[in-house]
Structure formats: C-alpha cells, structure tokens
Amino acid sequence: EVLLVQSGAVVKKRGESLRISCQGSGYTFTNYWISWVRQMPGKGLEWMGSIDPGDSYTKYSPSSQGHVTISADKSISTAYLHWSSLRASDTAIYYCARPFSASLKNWLEPWGQGTPVTVSP
C-alpha cells in the first residue's frame, strides 16, 4: 500500500523556524514527485510547490517562492517543508501528496493526513 505519513501538529511563535516532514512508503520514493498543498482555516486548497526526490529539483508557486524551502532526504524516503521565519499567516493545515504516475502533472493520490501548523503572534 502506498502511504504518505506526515509529522504531527505544531504550535510555534512568529519569527521562529519550522520543518515538517512527509515520509513515503510502499513505492520507490525517488520515482515520484512530492507536492505540498496548503489549506488555511476555512479556505481552499493551494499548491505551494513540488520536489523530485531523485535529484531534489524543485518547482515553487509564485506565492511560496522565497518564503518556504522544499527538500528531500531520499535515504529515508522523506520530504520536508521548511520555514526560516514563520508569519501568523502561515497558520494552516499542510498536506503532502504524490502524483499517480512519475509525471508531476498528474492527479494527486495518495495524500498525507495533513500537518496542522499554528503560529501565534
């Protein structure tokens, strides 16, 4: 079974750094991109960026570029989303997801369970 398991809920203060993780299992991790999707409270889904774990090539949305860093450690089949300085507006649930096939452009399935991040003032 293909699974993506994310790290747990986090509460941080504005200005602090944070790294959340997404570990893949049940498939060859380096063969599939991992995408990160944000869902702010009561809002819709927003793609942030994606990484090819095979070579760590990344692609970011314009709104995320420069504010977050996506990385991966293929030795432990884990992708990361990192902030060096959190803002209150980063409060959201963050999902990782994998495309159905090796192409980044495909539909996303499966999804991780989500990591709630709360940033206090």
Partner 1 sequence: SYILTQPPSVSVAPRQTARIACGGLNIGSKSVHWYQQKPGQAPVLVVFADNDRPSGIPERFSGSNSGNTATLTISRVEAGDEADYYCHVWDSSGHVFGTGTTVTVL
Q: Of 71, 90, 89, whose CA–CA distance to 81 is shortest?
A: 71
Q: Which of residues 48-107 bind partner 1 (CB under 8 A)?
A: 49-50, 59, 61-62, 95, 97, 100, 104-107
Q: Which 6-25 residues touch partner 1, going by CB under 8 A?
A: none
Nearest distance from residue 49's CB to partner 1, in Å? 8
Among 10, 27, 67, 111, binds partner 1 (CB under 8 A): 111
Place of tokens 């709104």: 63
Nearest CB to partner 1, comparing residues 17 and 27:
27
Query: Per-residue x/- marks for partner 1, 27-56, CB under 8 A?
Result: --------x-x------xxxx-xx------
Q: Which residues bind partner 1 (CB under 8 A)?
A: 35, 37, 44-47, 49-50, 59, 61-62, 95, 97, 100, 104-109, 111-114
